Structure 1
Amino acid sequence: MNHVKLKNLPKSDRPYEKFLNFGEQALTDSELLSIIIKSGTKEMSSMEIARQLLVGKHNNILNIYDYSIEDLCHFPGIGKVKAIQIKAVAELSKRITKTNSGYHLRLDSPESIANYYMEQMRHLKKEVLIVAFFDTSCKFLGDTVLSVGCINYTIVSPREIFKSALEYNAKAVVLLHNHPSGVPIASSDDKKITKRVQEAGKLMDIQVMDHIIIGDNRYFSFKKENIIE
C-alpha cells in the first residue's frame, strides 16, 4: 500500500488546514480523529490510523466508545497517551450530549429522560441501575448509581433507593437501567423490581414515576407502556 504523509497532501486536503479554512463541519470523522491522533508512524499517516479505528463493530465513529485503552493500544501508532486522549474525547462527547439533553429533561416525558441518559448508558458492558430524583415541582435534582452488575430482584434494595431520595429531599424518582444486549425488553425480574420499589415508595410518600430500560439507541418505558401509573 502506498503511504502518503499528510505533509505531502495538497494543503486543502490536510485536516488542520481544512479545519481552519472551512470549519470543523467540513471534516470527515477520520479527518477529525487524525487531528486528535496528531502523528502517524513511518508506515502509516495519522489519517490512515484514524480510518483503521473506524473499521469494526459499528464501522463508524461509535467504535471509539467500545474500544478500551488496551484495544486502542493494539493499533499502529497508538500508545497509552493517545489512547487516553481518544477515550477522553469520547467521554466529553457523552457529557456534552447529556448536558444538552438536560435542558429538555421533563419528569412527564419518558423520551426526554431516556435521551438524557442514552449516551451515558447505551454503550455500557455491564448492567447499571441509576435512580434519578425530582422535587414536587418536577425539577431534576440529580441522580445516583445504585448497582453495577446483574440487576435482579434480590440485589435491588428499596431501602438504598429511598435513603438516597431522602438525602435529595426528592418527592419522585425514576429508575433506569441498561441492557448490554441493546434490546430494551422488560423481564419478569424488571417488573418485580418495579412493583417492589413502588410499594416501598407509597410508604415513604415518594412516587416512582417510571422505570426506563436503555438499549442501543432504544428504550422501554414502564409509564409509556402503562405498566406503571
Structure 2
Amino acid sequence: MKNIPTSFSIKDWNEDDRPREKLLAKGKQALSDAELIAILIGSGNREESAVALSQRILSSAENHLDVLGKLSVVDLIKFKGIGEAKAISIVAAMELGRRRRSSDVLKLKKITSSHSAFEVLQPIIGDLPHEEFWILYLDNQNKILQKTQLSKGGITGTLVDVRVLFKSALQIGAVAVILAHNHPSGTLKPSNADKNITTKIRTAGESLDIKILDHLIITERAYFSFADEGLL
C-alpha cells in the first residue's frame, strides 16, 4: 500500500504552484500574503497544503496582517500543521515587519503635527495588548532627540513617574515633550486619569520651562490628540 505523506511539502508541488520558485521568477510582489507565509512554514498537513493552511490562518486573522501580527506562538500552534518552530517563524517575521515600519517612520525627525507624532508612535504601541506610556523628547525645532518608554502596565492602565520624565528631559536638553499612551480596548476617549496625569505633567513642566506639546491616545488605526481638542 502506498504511503500517505504526513504533509504537503512545497518541494513536492507542481513547479508552477511553488511560492519559492514564483518569488524567484516573478518577484516578491507577485506572491499573495498566504504564499509568503507558506514559504515561512514550508509544509502544511495531511489535508491541506502550506498555502491552504496559510489562507486558513489569515482568515482567522480577518485576512489582515496587523491582526496576524498580534497572534502569539500559543495562538498559532492551535492550527493543525503548525508546530512551535513554524509558529516562531511567523511571529518573528511579523515582528521584523513591524520594526521595519517603525524604522522607516523614524526617518521623520521633525514633529510638525499630531499626525506626524502618531506616525512615529503607532508602530511602537498601536497594537499592543497592554498599555504603555511613551515620551518623545524634542529640541527647540521640534526634532526628536529621544523616544522613551516611561512605563508599562496592564490592559487598563499604567503608572507614570513625573520625576523620571523630567529628569531625562533635563539630561538630554529637551525643551518640549509629547506624551503618548495606547488604549488596548480601542477606545479613543480620554479617562479622568488620562486628564489628571496630563495636567500634572503640564504643571511640572511649566516650572522647568519644558513645554508639553501634546498627549496622544493611540489605538491600532487612530488617535486622540489633547492639543487638537483644546485640552492642553
Is TM > 0.5 for Structure 1 vs Structure 2?
yes
Q: Which residue of 2 aligns with 1:151?
A: 157
How far is the alpha carbon of 1:41 from its aligned partner? 2.9
CA contact (8 A) 1:134 1:141 kept: yes
1:79 aligns with 2:83: yes
Aligned residues: 224
Using the alignment, how far apart are the partners of 2:204 and 2:194 within structure 1? 16
Q: Counterpart of 1:120 in structure 2: which amino acid? A: I
Q: Match of 2:169?
A: 165
SS in 1 for 2:59: coil
Q: What are the within-5 Å matches in structure 2 for residues 124-203 of structure 1?
A: 124-149=128-153, 150-151=156-157, 155-203=159-207
2:3 corresponding residue in structure 1: none
Is structure 2 residue 89 aligned with structure 1 residue 51? no
Displacement of 1:168: 2.4
Structure 1 residue 126: Cα displacement: 1.0
Cα distance change of structure 1 residues 105 and 213 upon mapping to structure 2, 3 Å threshold: farther
Is 212-221 or 180-189 further displaced after alignment?
180-189
1:48 to 1:57, Cα distance in 2 relative to 1, 3 A:
closer
- Alignment partners' CA distance in 1, 2:47 and 2:61: 25
Matched-pair identity in %? 37
Q: CA deviation at 1:62?
A: 2.6
3-state SS, counterpart of residue 212 of structure 2: strand
1:89 aligns with 2:93: yes
Check whether the contact 1:105–1:113 (CA below 8 A) recurs between aligned residues: no
* Of 36, 40, 44, the match for 1:36: 40
> What SS does structure 2 have at the residue aligned with 1:165?
helix
**Residues in 2 aligned to 1:5 and 1:79: alpha-carbon distance in whole angstroms:** 15
> Separation in 1 of the partners of 2:112 and 2:231?
15
- Any unmatched runs of 5+ in structure 2? 1-6
Note if contact 2:8-2:50 (Cα within 8 Å) is conserved in structure 1. Answer: no
**1:109 Cα deviation after fit:** 1.4
How far apart are the structure 2 equivalents of 1:209 and 1:201?
A: 11
1:95 Cα shift?
Answer: 1.1
Quick one: distance in 2 between partners of 1:52 and 1:35?
15
SS of 1:146's partner is strand
Q: How big is each residue's C-alpha offset from its partner over 1:54-101, in whole Å with a ceiling of 9 and x where there is no partner? A: 122433323321211111122222222222221111111111111111
Moved more, 109-118 or 77-86: 77-86
Distance apart, 1:216 and its partner CA: 2.3
Q: Single out whichever of 6-15 and 41-50 deviates more from structure 2.
A: 6-15
Structure 1 residues 6 and 85: alpha-carbon distance in aligned structure 2, compared to 1, 3 A threshold: closer
